[in-house]
Amino acid sequence: MSLPELVSFPLCPFVQRAVIVLREKQVPFTIRYIDLDNPPDWFLALSPLGKVPLLSVGDTVLFESAVIAEYLDETHPPALMPADPLARAQARAWIEFASNLLGRQYRMLVAKDQAGFDEEFAAAHRELAFVERAHADGPMFLGGDTLSLVDAGFAPFFMRFELMNRARPLALLDDYPKLRRWAAALADRDSVRRSVPEDFNDGFRRRFAGGWFGTAFADTAAMH
SS (H, E, C) 177-211: HHHHHHHHHHHCCHHHHCCCCCCHHHHHHHHCCCC
The order of strands in the sheet holding 54-57 is: 30-33, 5-8, 54-57, 60-63
Q: For residue 223, what pLDDT is reported? A: 45
* HEC secondary structure over 18-85: HHHHHHHCCCCCEEEECCCCCCCHHHHHHCCCCCCCEEEECCEEEECHHHHHHHHHHHCCCCCCCCCH
pTM, to two decimals: 0.95
Q: Which 8-state DSSP code applies to residue 14?
A: H
- Angle, to 10 degrees, between the axis of helix 13-24 and the axis of helix 65-75? 10
Tell me the mean pLDDT per 10 residues along the chain, length 224.
91 97 97 94 95 96 96 96 97 98 98 97 97 96 95 98 95 96 98 97 95 85 47
DSSP 4: P
- Residue 58's pLDDT is what? 93
**For the chain, which domains are there?**
5-75 (3.40.30.10), 85-222 (1.20.1050.10)
Catalytic residues: 12
- pLDDT for 221: 52
Q: State which H helix or E strand residue 8 sits in.
A: strand 5-8
Q: What span, in angstroms and rounded, lies between the C-alpha atoms of 92 and 88? A: 6
The half-sphere exposure of 172 on its side-chain side, counting CA atoms within 13 A, is 29
Q: How many C-beta atoms lie closer than 10 Å to residue 77's C-beta?
A: 8
What is the model's pLDDT at position 1? 63
- Note whether 112 and 211 are within 8 A (CB): yes
Check residue 219 and give its pLDDT: 66
Look at residue 218 in the predicted model and tell me its pLDDT: 76
Distances (CA, A) of 112 to 37, 188, 215, 216, 224: 20, 33, 11, 13, 25
